Amino acid sequence: MTELQRCLLCQKQEKLQKSHIIPKFAYSWHQKTGQGPLRGSTAPNKRIQDGYKDFLMCKNCENILSKWEKSFCENIFTPYQNNTDVSVFSYKDWLLKFSTSLSWRVLNIITPAVKLFQNDIQKASDIWRKFLLDEIPHPAEFQQHIILLDLIEKETFPIQTSFINRYLLTACDFDIFTNNKNNICTYTKIFKFIFIGIIATDNHRCWKINKINANHGRIATKHIYNNMPIELWKFIESKACLMQESSKKISTIQQKSITENISKNPKQYIESIGFKSALTDYQQHKDKQ
């Protein structure tokens, strides 16, 4: 894209870059650690190499966001992806900036398809944009929350799909979550992390799990599923069901390709998060399949 257009962040007329919605470091980690190819629910026979991108920002704004991406990647993402024994992480002001940048990106991509809450959406987008540009000190009521996911090794509550762990640990996703009543938020999933950006809610107290503070704080994995709002859990389950249905559409050619890739380095596959999550799902649901 060579012509000048309005950058959605700084609002200046600039040459826009093709921006990642889910940062590139996530896909780089996935490839480097041999987790196997990513596939989307809408087109399961097409491998995902680099994630969804769109023209949102100028290069200068891209560079601003990349600093927060780097801090999150180094201090939380890589340590937790590689070692689930680490259950508590400390953070500084970069985490709220990073999470807000995700929510702002998702909102600007999906907003045209959302018919309800237009006033709230516009206000949240404006507040998040100003916060990212340091024009205001915090995003006010448009809070950010982070959820660190882990294997559900023992089913202590009914689960509607045999792909729950595969979705929880191996999927990248972004969407708008709403119950079409009084709650709407952005939903960004990066493998073992979910980021929630509150746009409107009738009960902030139901979002008890890991609110991100403006300056510093600690996040933990303890009781992650027990503290999750039930409607959000149902939303996550519906995403896992989509993954399950999508897996049935993988062609014979692609199935053969998957098997051949595994056979090239079976040890790496057995040690991967994908294998561990699939095995756990199978062990929990083998009598139901």
Helix (H, G, I), strand (E, B) or coil at 187: strand
Would you state the pLDDT for residue 41? Answer: 64
* Cα distance between residue 199 and residue 107, in whole Å: 10
In the numeric block, which tokens belong to residue 85? 């024994």
Would you state the pLDDT for residue 166? Answer: 92
HSE-CB at 61 with a 13 A cutoff on CA atoms is 27
* Cα distance between residue 185 and residue 166, in whole Å: 23
* Rg for the chain, CA atoms, rounded: 19
DSSP 196-242: EEEEE-S-GGG--S-BPPSS-EEEE-TTTTTTS-HHHHHHHHHHHHH
* Cα distance between residue 266 and residue 101, in whole Å: 38
Would you state the pLDDT for residue 262? Answer: 74
Would you state the pLDDT for residue 74? Answer: 95
Cβ atoms of residues 166 and 232 within 8 Å:
no
List the chain domain ranges: 84-285
In the numeric block, which tokens belong to residue 56? 């949102």
pLDDT along the chain (289 residues), means of 10: 85 94 91 70 65 91 96 95 83 98 94 76 95 96 93 77 92 87 90 94 76 92 75 92 87 80 78 84 72
Q: Residue 70 region, left (φ>0) first, then alpha (ψ -120 to 50), else beta?
A: alpha
The structure's pTM equals 0.90
Cβ atoms of residues 53 and 18 within 8 Å:
yes
